[in-house]
A and B are shown apart, each in its own frame.
Chain A
Amino acid sequence: MLKITDISKSYNKKNFALKNLSFEMKRGSILALLGHNGAGKSTTLRIIAGMIGLNSGQVLIDGTDIAKAEPEELRKIKQNIGFISETTNLLDYLTAWEYIFYIGKMYGIEDEKLLTQKIEKLVQEFNIVDAKEKIIKEFSSGLKKRIALASIMINSPDLLLLDEPTVYLDPIGVKIFKKYLKELSSNGTAIILATHQLDIAEKLADKILIINEGEKLFKGTMEELRNSFDSSQKQDRLEDYYAKLIHN
């Protein structure tokens, strides 16, 4: 599904945000992308989403190099990718319903009847029925996040890129979100989850990728992470291993 090979990215001549990062993902898998602020998590997601270019390396989505794809081909690839950024920048002059409708159209759903049905289902599931006819600008950050999440679910993407998706969400919102991710994953969607909330990462992710200053520190399952430490250092929670890795 996704193959990243030696990608590097620098925003200026001196510092690299990413240095030769490589990893692969299969359909239906969930990868937790961890690292402290400025480690390169968002940059990685933005490169995969085709929002920014890279200095070197290759991003293959279903075998197509996104840097070399023709516009039409790239548009089709992007229609199968859902991206949610850390800061929820929605088109805040639209109503919640209009926004999801607009995103649905962007994702190539031409049948308006089908689109309307999907939206009605999503607004129920993400608990945004009361807000659907109101302008997004007036909403709380949590509600905006729910709308953003609902909007990218409209097309059931093959690849979902989530940058701090649970920030601003209340406990009910987090619960709905986790349930949805599980469902999507079981339906074959590959999910990359960049987060600081390690408990969510631990519960949801099949594999963990920890990066620091743009470089890979660890990639593997929770079990492999545990086994990479001596028995004297073994802990229960991902949080403790993460702290140890970063500290080292």
Chain B
Amino acid sequence: MSHIVSLLLQQDFIKNARKNIILKSIFGDSISIQKVLQINLVLALLYFLLTSVFPLFVFTHFSSFLPNVESILPFYHFILNGIIPLFIFFGLFVGAILVYNINIDENEQLLSLPVVIDDLVRYRLIDVIIANLKSYLLFFFPLFIWLYLAMGWSVGWVLLIAVLSCLLALISYLSGIYLMLLVAKKIPNLSVEKMFINSFIVLGLLFAVFINLFKNGYIVGGETSVWTWMETILSSSSISVWVNSMVAGPLGLLLYLIVLSVCGILISSLWKMSNKALYDIYYKIHVSADKTMKKIKRITYGVSFEKLNTFLHFIPSFPRIIIVKDILSLIRKPNLFIKVVIFIGGLILLINMKYSSVENPLLLALYFSSMFVISRLFLGAVGMEQSNILNIKLLVPRAAKYLSARIQIAMFASLVLLIPLWILLVISSADFAILFYFYRIISMVLNVIIISVFVTYFSAAFAEFEPGKTGDSFTGIYPMAMLLYWGLSFLVPLFFYTLDSVIISGVSNFISTIILFPTGLLIFVSIIICYIFGVRRIRDYF
């Protein structure tokens, strides 16, 4: 690593630390590099004690409490077989960012120093590798330890397998980046989106091919249990019977491939066609949403500071002033209020959605693709359209307005894109439990919208909201949000699948609940923290 690259990485390190809201609020703005290092070390140690060393200790000393292994197996397979494609996918994405979504402004700033392109590429690459390793060490590594221990493996094997998995993840990740760079060389004008729609279709095709190979007995050996598990899932609903029959033989497979390819072409054409129509509707909605907001604001301004202060007179004066200020800021910013309601409602709905699409691969595929399409609508509001023309201070409030309108658009788009597919599936499955399917449709659409809203907040939380002279500092949002979005779209179903497994295997299986609970809790806590920071950052610029 050259001297320049290590300097670039150092400044990145201090930048992240000094922009960290928690660190800033505790240690002030100018926290030193040494302090950041110490804090990180302590936090990492604590984290590992809690997530890795503690379970090692518990399982070594209380092995009689080992859980029912079978109830964990599907989850284990899901993780183990998911890790390679997932990290390749992350790698592909990061490769795409490196090639297509370069933040020109930031890079130019660095190039004005004695930094050459070679340094810049190395720095970016090392930066993404570190980020990936960090996510692996913070999330997947402890998860592996829990899982393997739960399956009754010895401590030595667990550590060995966890380290091997880490290496595997890194190799997969780098292969993904390398693959994307190879492809990118040949197709210089391809956008990240197109790349992802295509890779999604390719992954779908590969999935169909492998299922078919398994059904015809071409896949045998150690991984057979995975395919058996997938087949079981595929057979678990009447919709899947239809898919099963399609992929059962060579003709079925061919048909499936054709359908998927046509769907791929149709989706991108439909997207182009619907884009214009959606924008027309959007402007109409925007105008009406704006009027409604004004009305709400007029009403909320009727609630004065004095009135509220008198009303809450039973609270001591100091916290009362803060509470009154907070209540006023919330009700006088209806956008924010609506979003908070949506968020809480969304959480309740998510928890209630254990029968939703996540159990079924086909539904999962639909879920992913629709989330992709819908999230584009949301990201469009913040990330792309106005970034080049608007001042950042103007952009954020406007983005909030856009967001409220776009929730409605997203609902409309979800209905337009998904309902015909669902009706087709319901009819094809010859299952007339229409109400049940409607429940699934609604829950899936809501799920998609909720995740998309999350994505918007994530993008706000992670983007650099700097009040610069131009909106250029905003350009970094899009890839970051997309990465998070894809991460989320894997993690959320995973969590619900886990939740389902626990419920199915029975609450009496106390240990398995303990094992699975921290994972879910971790995901939810991180979502909530990111949400809060996202809101706060947006609010700061209102």
Contacts and interface: CB of A to CB of B under 8 A. Distances in A.
Contact of B18 (A75, A93, A107): A93
Contact of A50 (B14, B18, B105, B111): B111
B118 A103 contact: no
B416 interface: no
A75 B5 CA distance: 12
A75 B114 contact: yes
Given A51-B108, A75-B119, A135-B30, A94 B14 contact: yes
Contacts of B109: 85, 89
A105 interface: yes
Contacts of A92: 466
Nearest to B32: A98
A107 B113 CA distance: 8
B130 interface: no
Contact of B114 (A79, A87, A95, A134): A79
A106 B113 contact: yes
Interface residues of B, number: 24
Contacts of B118: 71
Contacts of B114: 75, 78-79, 81, 106-108
Interface in A25-63: 46, 49-52
A159 to B, nearest CB: 12
Given A71-B119, A87-B469, A105-B7, A51 B29 contact: no
Contact of B111 (A51, A93, A133): A51
B112 A51 contact: yes
A78 B119 contact: no
Query: For chain B, what secondary structure do more than half of its interface residues adopt (helix, strand, loop), or is it mixed?
Result: helix
Interface string A100-116: 00110111100000000
A46 B118 CA distance: 18
B31 to A, nearest CB: 10
A217 interface: no
Interface in B105-141: 105, 108-109, 111-119
Contacts of A50: 111, 116
A75 to B, nearest CB: 5
Given A46-B108, A95-B30, A135 B116 contact: no
Contacts of A106: 4, 7, 113-115
A129 interface: no
A138 B18 CA distance: 13
B11 interface: yes
B291 interface: no
B294 interface: no
B108 A135 contact: no
A80 to B, nearest CB: 9
Contact of A78 (B7, B19, B105, B115): B115
Contacts of A93: 14-15, 18-19
Interface footprint category on A: 20 to 34
Interface string B305-322: 000000000000000000
Interface in B200-229: none
Nearest to B16: A93
Nearest to A90: B109
Contacts, number: 63
A21 interface: no
A74 interface: yes
A49 B29 CA distance: 32
Contact of A75 (B19, B30, B108, B116): B116
Given A49-B112, A50-B111, A78-B114, A91 B11 contact: yes
B474 to A, nearest CB: 15
A89 B114 CA distance: 16
B30 A102 contact: no
A106 B116 CA distance: 12
A83 interface: yes
Contacts of B108: 46, 51-52
Given A93-B18, A135-B29, A103 B113 contact: yes
Contacts of B111: 49-51
B112 A83 contact: yes
A170 to B, nearest CB: 19
A231 B114 CA distance: 48
Given A93-B14, A102-B11, A134-B30, A75 B113 contact: no
Contacts of A74: 116
A71 B116 contact: yes
A105 B2 CA distance: 13
Contacts of B115: 75, 78, 106
Contacts of A105: 7
Contacts of A79: 114
A135 B18 contact: yes
Contacts of A78: 113-116
Interface string B1-26: 00110010001001100110000000
Interface string B24-45: 0000011000000000000000
A74 B2 CA distance: 14
Interface of B: 3-4, 7, 11, 14-15, 18-19, 29-30, 105, 108-109, 111-119, 466, 469
Interface of A: 46, 49-52, 71, 74-75, 78-79, 81, 83, 85, 87, 89, 91-95, 102-103, 105-108, 133-135, 137-138
Q: Please name the 10 residue pairs, one residue from A and one from B, whose CB atoms are nearest each other, closest first.
A: A78-B114, A71-B118, A93-B18, A51-B111, A79-B114, A83-B112, A135-B29, A71-B116, A74-B116, A89-B109
11 contacts: A50-B116, A51-B111, A74-B116, A78-B116, A89-B105, A91-B11, A93-B14, A95-B30, A108-B3, A133-B30, A135-B30
